A and B are shown apart, each in its own frame.
Chain A
Amino acid sequence: QVQLQESGPGLVKPSETLSVTCTVSGASISRYYWSWIRQPPGKGLEWIGYIFYSGSTNYNPSLKSRVTISVDTSKNQFSLKLSSVTAADTAVYYCARGGDKQWPGFDYWGQGTLVTVSS
């Protein structure tokens, strides 16, 4: 059974870099595309970007200048870094399988981790 688990600090100061890691179990990270999606409290879903095991990435144009997604195949993990954060980046951050043009659906999701941006 495929499982995804997010981990990372729950609180980040404004202007700093948010970092979250997703650990995948039950599936090899080397076979699929993997995405980050976020949801501000009480609001809708926003796709942040995806990565393929080769390192190929694609980011949401609205966040592209601040986002880096990386992969560690040896640990079956992929990570998100979002720089220069503000209160508007406060959200539940989900990792999920999928997100490329051929399969823009997300069939497995992590439980999500709330990241609050505050001093």
Chain B
Amino acid sequence: QSVLTQPPSASGTPGQRVTISCFGSSSNIGSNYVYWYQQLPGTAPKLLIYRNNQRPSGVPDRFSGSKSGTSASLAISGLRSEDEADYYCATWDDSLSGRGVVFGGGTKLTVL
């Protein structure tokens, strides 16, 4: 059971816009920045979005992030076949049981 909740799967056709949600609580998303990672099959995760909505150099502007309250979203516009991957959200958690980085369970994106 992950601290952050993501839908297990999402799908879209080429050119479409898809969004992936990430739900948390006041001790994590509600009070800290959200980060998003893309993991292509058989590879290490890659940082896609940092501090809610910032893109590292080299990440296409088709990828965008947002946060509102205790939830966050990753949007991918102009969907391409190479976007088929697992996507994870993450943030810092300040819960009573301990402090540290927490991840969502991941969302498998299929490009139909």
Interface, chain A (partner B; CB < 8 A): 35, 44-47, 49-50, 58-62, 64, 94, 99, 101, 104-107, 109-112
Contact = CB atoms under 8 A, between A and B. Distances in A.
Contacts of A105: 33, 35, 47, 50-51, 90
A6 to B, nearest CB: 10
Interface of B is mostly: strand
Interface residues of B, number: 28
B70 to A, nearest CB: 16
Interface in B56-112: 56, 88, 90-92, 94, 97-106
B19 interface: no
B44 A94 contact: yes
Contacts of B50: 105, 107
